Amino acid sequence: MPQTNDPAVVVVGASAGGVEALRDLVSAFPLDLEACVLVVLHIPPTGTSALPAILDRAGPLPARHAVEGDRLEQGRILVAPPNRHLVVADGAVTLSRGPQENGHRPAVDVLFRSAARAQGPGVVGVVLSGSLDDGAAGAVAVKQRGGTALVQDFDEALHDGMPRAAAAAAEIDAVLPVKKLAARVAELVRDRRTDAPPVSRLMNLEADMADLDPSAMHHHERPGDPSGFGCPDCHGALFEIHEGDMLRYRCRVGHAWSAESLVARQTVSMESALWMALRSLEEKAALNSELGVRAAAGGRDLTAMRFRESEQETLRAAELVRSLIDDLGEVPPKAPTPQ
């Protein structure tokens, strides 16, 4: 259970379309918000992020990138820097180069899970616009520890994948437009909950793995059961984890995937493999063509014919691979709205 002198913590996650939603959210926060706001937005691992400056101008609360060891102080906004997980522990934040989750670092699930473990019912989790489902497992963790989970209105979000996934995975407390989310957050942190369910062994292990804790990384037992699938990042075995109706995966070194994110990453890996196959086939066809021309020039007609036949067979195979690549671009049907 968090200490009574610890501030409430508002953790916010967003991805595609999230800058606009974050700007609108912080612009509606009151100056006297009794919470520390921690933000993860999916951003490229290289370069710089202008998000802290955008949020600092948007509302009354000062915003900046988090620094290792920053204390949780009410009335401030700390943003995860590029290529670092934002982790909550012992009334402060740490920055980690731990394993990616759902293909992201920083990841929303890491922030939400670590905050839930450290602050229990003093956490309000907010999932805003974004694709796929990072934040769904984090919302489950927040609820497991007695916190509150809110999501952006599906119709308002520029990309409704993340809010819908969180609402499907966890018992969300409210689905609201961003301006109303800000008002609800202010109410919740004033009347924060105090009864904290215990931290599960799974939550402890996963939070420690995200922070590269040696005791967790060297632990021989992995959470979940062997799935038979491989991790797209390190090619190690994935273990299947069930939390309520949610299915997700984690490998031995800590890469974590929701089912939807795993399929998306596998599609990317498959496309890369198909492009390599297409390149090899095109090179083989070109080589056969050149060898056929040389054989014909040397009067070896039968050899030239075999090279031309091989060239045509290879080109047919190349067209098949090309059609497979084209089919990968088909957009799957949208999941139904959770009731």
Point out the residues that are catalytic.
15, 42, 134
DSSP class per residue in 263-326: HHHHHHHHHHHHHHHHHHHHHHHHHHHHHHHHHHHTT-HHHHHHHHHHHHHHHHHHHHHHHHHH
**What is the phi/psi pair of residue 192, to 5°?**
-70, 150
Question: If 0-12 CB within 10 Å is exposed, 13-18 middle and 19+ buried, where does residue 21 land?
Answer: buried
Compute the distance between CA of residue 268 and CA of residue 299 in angstroms, rounded to an integer: 47
Q: What is the DSSP letter of 97?
A: -
CB burial of residue 180 (10 Å; 0-12, 13-18, 19+): middle
Angle between helices 18-27 and 178-190 (to 10 degrees): 50
Residue with tokens 């437009």: 177
Query: Strands 256-258, 8-14: parallel, antiparallel or unpaired by DSSP?
Result: unpaired
Tokens representing 271 are 């496309």
State how far the alpha carbon of 282 is from the alpha carbons of 55, 160, 274, 292, 316, in Å: 50, 40, 12, 15, 10
- Residue from 106, 64, 63, 62 nearest 87 by CA: 106
Residue 241 phi, psi dihedral angles, 5° rounding: -120, 130
